[in-house]
């Protein structure tokens, strides 16, 4: 044990990486404290597997540091700051090091504590961006980029992912040749919209629970009564070694076909060719830089075609960084944003998939309930799209995503839900991602055996997405018609006679009323602690 007065280092559950500046460089450089916040644990009806993931990954990280001679304390405390205060006092720490938290409200508390000396010791808050850190760009740099952007003529949104992504590519030189993007364009997205016919995804690498994880599973079952899903079948990576193996598995077995099939959905195939790396990545077990460098290496040795490699680099260096940049630029406003005025409560079937007969929805929610994961297109075009068309209260859906997904943290779920999925904050998406059943039909095999007919718009047998979609467009016409990417759709609506339009409105209204529950699934407590 280190003597009193040594500096203390707070490792947040999302900072589990020895190379981060919240971990002392050697065992004699300071004490390490990890905190299980009781307030955070009680804030939402968390997925049981998410609790196992985070608590087990923390325990593994602490155990590995201890094994290497570090002085480590894992504390349960009412909140993160209270836990830190107790540690600093008990150990007489001379100063405290921490990374900037990933949540706006928590970050504010830390910044204030650093400024007003609440902890009675100097608090050094380190940037979470830059070489080898959780994000590629420093926070200031990302903020400078956001501040430099204005809506261009005819554009409604202020920030565009494609411009941000080009900025990151130019800055890093990734997939660039002589100042130009390799292959002549920054994005190969248009090449990546295939549905596998006959090809099945590779077998997924699973991580069997060890003694620490098994102990954590028992604890979650015993101590957290308000969870969603179950701990049974937990197999997510919880250590850096696991994360490195997951990365290797992706580039050996999945990467080649990742690009072409990244938008496809197949019944009973939850993983497809996806990396599943957001889970260890958002815990700090691997870094975005490692992921991009692995993709570039795979491309260089011919194991990944340009469309797949670029698609992957765009997800990590483009979308992920962009989401984090706009989150900080828009908070706290983003949390309250509700551009389309959605007020409805989340339908019960988001928690109980067996209660819906919409096959695509039952499949996606069932996967989330069973594993804590659904891939991007399920999140955006099924779960998010339905919430958008139904008119859900954005914060209700946002809380559901945050609680239910093993990779969810506010900095990433909020911009994805409020911005991408619900168009509640329209400052950084080009249009609402609204779609009828035709999209699901094109990109999946769900409709084949669904009890609804994807080709019909009205009547009890018609796919519910269809009436909801047209009714949504009509309802928000005034606003959406200003958008050049949506305007053309109203020609179709106008061609239908008033009787058909009425049938659509009536069907949509009946669906909404039938789905709205009388009360929310669970009380959402203060989720900022």
Shorter beta-carbon distance to ligand FAD: residue 62 or 420 = 420
Of 379, 399, 441, 512, the one binding ligand FAD (CB under 6 A) is: 379
Find all residues with CB under 8 Å of 344, minimum gap 6, and list them: 390, 391, 392, 393, 512, 515, 516
* Residue 278 interacting entry, from ligand SF4, ligand FAD, none, C-beta within 5 to 8 Å by type: ligand FAD
Of 401, 428, 452, 472, the one binding ligand FAD (CB under 6 A) is: 401
Strand pairing class (176-177; 180-181): antiparallel
* Residue 440 interacting entry, from ligand FAD, ligand SF4, none, C-beta within 5 to 8 Å by type: ligand SF4
Tell me how far apart the alpha carbons of residues 520 and 518 are, in angstroms, rounded to a whole number: 7
Of 71, 107, 396, 407, the one binding ligand FAD (CB under 6 A) is: 407
3-state helix, strand, coil in the chain (%, to 5): 50, 10, 40
| Residue corresponding to tokens 């179950």 | 230
Shortest distance, CB of residue 453 to ligand SF4, whole angstroms?
7
Shortest distance, CB of residue 248 to ligand FAD, whole angstroms?
14
* Residue 465 interacting entry, from ligand FAD, ligand SF4, none, C-beta within 5 to 8 Å by type: ligand SF4
* Residue 316 interacting entry, from ligand FAD, ligand SF4, none, C-beta within 5 to 8 Å by type: ligand FAD
Shorter beta-carbon distance to ligand SF4: residue 53 or 462 = 462
Evaluate whether 520 touches 345 at the Cβ level (below 8 Å). yes
Of 51, 421, 458, 463, the one binding ligand FAD (CB under 6 A) is: 421
Interface with ligand FAD, residue 417, by CB under 6 A: yes
Tell me how far apart the alpha carbons of residues 492 and 39 are, in angstroms, rounded to a whole number: 51
Tell me how far apart the alpha carbons of residues 374 and 372 are, in angstroms, rounded to a whole number: 7
Shorter beta-carbon distance to ligand SF4: residue 248 or 461 = 461
Shortest distance, CB of residue 280 to ligand FAD, whole angstroms?
9
Interface with ligand FAD, residue 315, by CB under 6 A: yes
Q: In sequence order, what DSSP letters do the residues of 152-206 get, joined into one string?
A: PTT---S--HHHHHHHHHHHH-TTEETTEEGGGSS--GGG-----SS--PPPPP-
| Residue corresponding to tokens 């209660």 | 355
Shortest distance, CB of residue 281 to ligand FAD, whole angstroms?
5
List the interface residues with ligand FAD, window 66-105 (CB under 6 A).
none
* Residue 275 interacting entry, from ligand FAD, ligand SF4, none, C-beta within 5 to 8 Å by type: ligand FAD
Tell me how far apart the alpha carbons of residues 377 and 443 are, in angstroms, rounded to a whole number: 9
Q: What is Dmax (Cα atoms) for the chain? A: 82
Q: How far are the Cα atoms of 44, 349, 354, 371 from residue 366, in angstroms, in the given order? A: 19, 10, 8, 8
Shorter beta-carbon distance to ligand FAD: residue 418 or 512 = 418
Evaluate whether 178 touches 364 at the Cβ level (below 8 Å). no
* Residue 446 interacting entry, from ligand FAD, ligand SF4, none, C-beta within 5 to 8 Å by type: ligand SF4
Shortest distance, CB of residue 466 to ligand SF4, whole angstroms?
7
Evaluate whether 442 touches 382 at the Cβ level (below 8 Å). no
* Residue 263 interacting entry, from ligand FAD, ligand SF4, none, C-beta within 5 to 8 Å by type: none
Interface with ligand FAD, residue 412, by CB under 6 A: yes
Which residues lie near ligand SF4 (CB under 6 A)? 358-360, 437, 440-441, 446-447, 450, 452, 454, 463-465
Shorter beta-carbon distance to ligand SF4: residue 9 or 452 = 452
Tell me how far apart the alpha carbons of residues 279 and 296 are, in angstroms, rounded to a whole number: 21
Interface with ligand FAD, residue 337, by CB under 6 A: no
8's enclosing H/E stretch is strand 8-10
∠ Cα 95 100 102 (to 5°): 145
Shorter beta-carbon distance to ligand SF4: residue 59 or 441 = 441
Evaluate whether 394 touches 337 at the Cβ level (below 8 Å). yes
Binding residues for ligand FAD (CB under 6 A): 262, 274-278, 281-282, 312, 315-316, 319-320, 323, 375-376, 379-380, 384, 401, 405, 407-408, 412-413, 416-417, 420-421
């Amino acid at each position: 044990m280190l003597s009193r007065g040594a500096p203390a280092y707070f490792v947040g559950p999302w900072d589990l990486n020895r190379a981060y500046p919240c971990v002392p460089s050697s065992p004699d450089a300071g004490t390490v404290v990890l905190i299980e916040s009781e307030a955070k644990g009680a804030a939402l009806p968390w997925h049981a597997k998410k609790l196992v993931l985070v608590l087990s990954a923390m325990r593994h990280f602490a155990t590995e540091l201890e094994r290497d001679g570090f002085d480590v304390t894992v504390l349960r405390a009412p909140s993160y700051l209270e836990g830190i205060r107790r540690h600093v006092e008990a150990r007489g720490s001379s100063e405290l090091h921490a990374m900037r938290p990933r949540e706006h409200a928590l970050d504010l508390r830390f910044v204030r504590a650093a400024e007003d000396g609440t902890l009675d010791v100097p608090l050094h808050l380190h940037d979470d961006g830059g070489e080898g850190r959780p994000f590629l760009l420093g926070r200031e740099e990302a903020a400078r980029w956001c501040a430099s952007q204005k809506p261009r003529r005819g554009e409604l949104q202020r920030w565009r992912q494609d411009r941000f992504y080009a900025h990151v590519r130019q800055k890093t030189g990734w997939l660039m040749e002589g100042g130009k993007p390799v292959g002549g364009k920054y994005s190969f997205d248009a090449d990546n919209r295939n549905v596998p016919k006959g090809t099945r995804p590779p077998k997924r690498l699973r991580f069997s629970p060890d003694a620490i994880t098994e102990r954590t599973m028992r604890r979650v079952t015993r101590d957290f009564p308000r969870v969603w899903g179950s701990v049974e079948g937990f197999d997510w990576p919880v250590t850096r070694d696991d994360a490195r193996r997951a990365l290797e598995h992706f580039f050996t077995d999945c990467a080649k076909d990742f690009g072409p099939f990244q938008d496809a959905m197949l019944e009973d195939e939850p993983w497809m060719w996806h990396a599943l790396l957001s889970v260890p990545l958002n815990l700090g077990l691997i870094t975005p830089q490692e992921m991009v460098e692995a993709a570039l290496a795979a491309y260089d040795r011919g194991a990944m075609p340009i469309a797949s490699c670029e698609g992957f680099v765009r997800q990590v260096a483009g979308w992920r960084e962009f989401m984090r940049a706009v989150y900080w630029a828009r908070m706290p406003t983003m949390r309250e944003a509700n551009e389309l005025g959605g007020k409805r409560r989340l339908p019960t079937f988001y928690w109980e998939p067996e209660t819906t007969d919409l096959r695509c929805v039952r499949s996606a929610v069932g996967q989330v309930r069973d594993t804590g994961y659904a891939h991007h297109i399920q999140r955006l075009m099924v779960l998010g799209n339905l919430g958008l068309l139904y008119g859900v209260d954005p914060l209700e859906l946002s809380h559901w995503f945050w609680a239910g997904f093993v990779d969810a943290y506010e900095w990433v779920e909020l911009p994805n839900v409020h911005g991408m999925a619900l168009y509640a904050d329209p400052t950084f998406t080009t249009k609402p991602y609204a779609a009828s059943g035709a999209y699901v039909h094109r990109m999946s095999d769900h409709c084949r055996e669904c009890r609804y007919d994807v080709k019909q718009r009205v009547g009890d047998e018609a796919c519910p997405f269809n009436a909801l979609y047209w009714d949504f467009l009509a309802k928000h016409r005034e606003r959406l018609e200003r958008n050049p990417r949506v305007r053309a759709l109203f020609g179709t609506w106008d061609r239908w006679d008033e009787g058909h339009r009425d049938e659509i409105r009536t069907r949509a209204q009946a669906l909404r009323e039938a789905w709205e529950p009388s009360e929310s699934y669970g009380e959402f407590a203060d989720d900022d602690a």
